[in-house]
Amino acid sequence: MTTTTGADIVRVLDTATLAFITEDDLQQELHTALAAAGIESTREVRLSDGRSRIDLLVGRVGIEVKTDGGRNDVIRQLMRYAHCDELDELVLVTTRTKHHHMPTEVVGKSLRLVSLIGASL
């Protein structure tokens, strides 16, 4: 059994054709695109800190979807997620250019970006 990495997820999502209007639609489209590539994901997973819920989880990779929100707010949220032991990597999927200048590492865990600028219907 192979482990799916954040890089694997980015490769799939960078080439996926996604049709969405809302953030919930986008989460479902990502879930479907990953499944089509043979990658199992779970939506809306509660994390071990007792207050966080990540949009999608693939093994030990958390995927957070952002269609709005300030850069600093997103970084704080990702830092909270990164403190959870069940996550080794994070992937941020965003439709906003303001989220493009993120660190490549958060609390010692890799952070990868998938930009969907102009991808929505």
- The structural domains of the chain, with segments of one domain joined by +, span 6-115
Tell me: the pLDDT tens digits for 76-88?
Answer: 999 999 999 999 9
Quickly list DSSP for 27-61.
HHHHHHHHHHTT---EEEEEPTTSS-EEEEEETTE
- CA–CA separation, 28 vs 33, rounded Å? 9
Residue of higher predicted confidence among 57 and 101 = 57
CA distances from 64 to 1, 26, 92, 100 (A): 25, 11, 5, 14
Token pair listed for 38: 């043979």
- pLDDT for the residue numbered 121: 43
Global confidence as pTM: 0.92
Tell me: the pLDDT tens digits for 5-52?
Answer: 999 999 999 999 998 989 999 999 999 999 999 999 999 999 999 999
